[in-house]
Amino acid sequence: MDALIAAADGALRTLFASPRASRPCPTVPETPDAPLSAKERALSGALMRVNHVGEV
Protein backbone atom coordinates (compact mmCIF):
# COMPACT_ATOMS: atom_id res chain seq x y z
CA MET A 1 0.00 0.00 0.00
CA ASP A 2 2.85 2.39 0.83
CA ALA A 3 4.47 1.74 -2.56
CA LEU A 4 1.21 2.58 -4.33
CA ILE A 5 0.87 5.86 -2.44
CA ALA A 6 4.52 6.73 -3.11
CA ALA A 7 4.08 6.00 -6.83
CA ALA A 8 0.91 8.10 -7.00
CA ASP A 9 2.66 10.92 -5.13
CA GLY A 10 5.59 10.81 -7.55
CA ALA A 11 3.28 10.81 -10.56
CA LEU A 12 1.26 13.77 -9.28
CA ARG A 13 4.41 15.73 -8.46
CA THR A 14 5.74 15.04 -11.96
CA LEU A 15 2.53 16.03 -13.72
CA PHE A 16 1.61 19.13 -11.74
CA ALA A 17 4.92 20.59 -10.55
CA SER A 18 5.98 23.95 -11.95
CA PRO A 19 9.08 23.62 -14.15
CA ARG A 20 12.35 25.11 -12.90
CA ALA A 21 15.41 25.99 -14.97
CA SER A 22 18.64 24.66 -13.53
CA ARG A 23 20.80 27.00 -15.61
CA PRO A 24 20.33 30.37 -17.33
CA CYS A 25 18.95 30.47 -20.86
CA PRO A 26 21.87 30.45 -23.34
CA THR A 27 20.00 32.50 -25.96
CA VAL A 28 19.56 35.57 -23.78
CA PRO A 29 22.53 37.90 -24.35
CA GLU A 30 24.35 38.92 -21.18
CA THR A 31 25.65 42.19 -22.65
CA PRO A 32 24.72 44.08 -25.81
CA ASP A 33 27.02 43.58 -28.80
CA ALA A 34 29.54 46.34 -29.36
CA PRO A 35 29.68 47.85 -32.86
CA LEU A 36 32.47 46.41 -35.01
CA SER A 37 35.17 48.44 -36.69
CA ALA A 38 35.64 48.19 -40.46
CA LYS A 39 38.59 45.81 -39.99
CA GLU A 40 36.57 43.57 -37.64
CA ARG A 41 33.61 43.52 -40.07
CA ALA A 42 35.91 42.48 -42.93
CA LEU A 43 37.41 39.68 -40.82
CA SER A 44 33.96 38.51 -39.74
CA GLY A 45 32.76 38.44 -43.35
CA ALA A 46 35.83 36.49 -44.45
CA LEU A 47 35.34 33.95 -41.67
CA MET A 48 31.67 33.50 -42.54
CA ARG A 49 32.53 32.91 -46.21
CA VAL A 50 34.85 30.11 -45.11
CA ASN A 51 32.12 28.75 -42.84
CA HIS A 52 29.49 28.74 -45.62
CA VAL A 53 31.88 27.04 -48.06
CA GLY A 54 32.23 24.18 -45.61
CA GLU A 55 35.93 24.47 -44.98
CA VAL A 56 37.20 23.95 -41.49
pLDDT for position 11: 94
Q: Give me the sign of the Cα torsion angle 38, 43, 44, 50.
A: positive
Nearest-angstrom CA–CA distance, 12 and 39:
58
Whole-number percent of the chain with pLDDT over 90? 34
pLDDT at 9: 95
Sign of the torsion formed by the C-alpha atoms of 10, 14, 15 and 17: positive
Kindly report, residue by residue over 21-46, the tens digit of the pLDDT.
Answer: 788 777 766 777 788 899 999 998 88
